[in-house]
Amino acid sequence: MSATIFLWDNLGPPHYDRLESAQMYFGPDRKVIGAEIFGDSNEYDWKKGAGDSARVVTLFEERSAFGTLSFLKKLAGLVRRAKARHVFVCNYDRGYILLAAALLRLMGRRVYLMIDSKFDDKPRQLSREILKAIYLLPYNGVLAASDRSQDYLRFLGFRSEQIRAGYDTIDVARLRAQCSFSVPAFAERPFVIVARLVAKKNIHTALRAFALAFRQTRERRLKICGSGPLLEELKALAAELGIADLVEFTGFLQTEAISDAVGQSLALVLPSTEEQFGQVVAEAVALSIPVMVSLACGARDELVRNGVNGFIFEPTNVEGLAYLMKLIARDELLWREMAENSKSFLPLADSARFAEAAAKFVQME
């Protein structure tokens, strides 16, 4: 039995969703293997757990044991033992991934990149983009996350037929099954932010907009789910703005608690100044919750329509975000209409799309 390998830094709930969907789509004649380089994550403290059918392999239980040569040896050994013909990887900008892609091509395997980068993520320099195009030469195709990701890949030299959409997806059924779906009254629903507490998530702007909108009326609350180095700074800002009693910092939450927090919210707010995609947007769509996202978020390309299932705003526009917050907070009919409209975006958020896109590459051989 041949296998297809999907390689990530570390596996969490979204990765298991995609692996399980791929195994279901591929069927019993092709084994799906999820390989993680490291047994833990530097960014997320998510619980470990495997899916029901896809096999999971950890190359290095301890980060201290990692080395480029040992990584290449372990990956090549896994590919040979599994008789894998197709390998999907991410983090193309790391030297050891480039070496792995080149090695796999020399072994006669087909290698695909999984990516959510966009041209507008940061200022671009021509020399770096030329170097990047060279880094991408070993790849037979790309699984991209958004429309802008696909545009960026075409800019870097990939042909349209080498690109498939559907990378940053989740299992909609899992999200809905694990959400308690308790139904707070409209007036009791808080806004929710789910993000690491780092500068590019731009939570300062969300706090200022929330204060501008509700400091006087005290009619809404804001729940911020996540951990990171800016926690104390953000708490201090909330106090300075006079909204400390309206803002709850929950810390990092596991996927079940995130589903409850989003599912019981008024709207998800993601004000990032830099956001390749924004996985939590797909989770909000899965739970039929309106979303308010900045222009920077890749997820808005396909999962958000302005005025339909949410709002799109400039990430530095405090007054504009405050206006949109007040608009949805005071119009229950609008909120219910947007929540209902979210259902039409479910197929675009679901991990079945990832599986179908990967299968098209595998079947092209």
Model confidence pLDDT, tens digit, residues 227-266 = 999 999 999 999 999 999 999 999 999 999 999 999 999 9
Average confidence (pLDDT) over 45-56? 67
Query: What confidence score (pLDDT) does residue 232 get?
Result: 97
For residue 182, what pLDDT is reported? 77
Q: Is a pLDDT exceeding 70 seen at residue 50?
A: no
Q: What's the pLDDT at 53?
A: 59
Longest Cα–Cα distance of the chain, Å, equals 66
Q: From residue 319, how far is each of 19, 185, 205, 212, 316 by CA, in Å?
A: 42, 27, 10, 8, 9
Domains of the chain: 2-171+350-363 (3.40.50.2000), 173-346 (3.40.50.2000)
pLDDT digits 0-9 by tens, 194-204: 999 999 999 99
- Judge whether residue 28 has pLDDT over 80: yes
Confidence of residue 179 (pLDDT cuts 50, 70, 90): confident
Distance of alpha carbon 21 from alpha carbon 15, whole angstroms: 10
Residue 353 has pLDDT above 90, yes or no: yes
Say how far apart CA 16 and CA 24 lie, in whole Å: 12
List the helix and strand counts (H, then E) for the chain: 15, 13
State pLDDT tens for residues 293-322: 999 999 999 999 999 999 999 999 999 999
User: In the prediction, which pLDDT does 149 show?
Assistant: 97
Position 277 pLDDT exceeds 70: yes
List Cα–Cα distances, 17 to 106, 245, 355, in angstroms: 31, 37, 10
Residue linked to tokens 């729940």 = 223
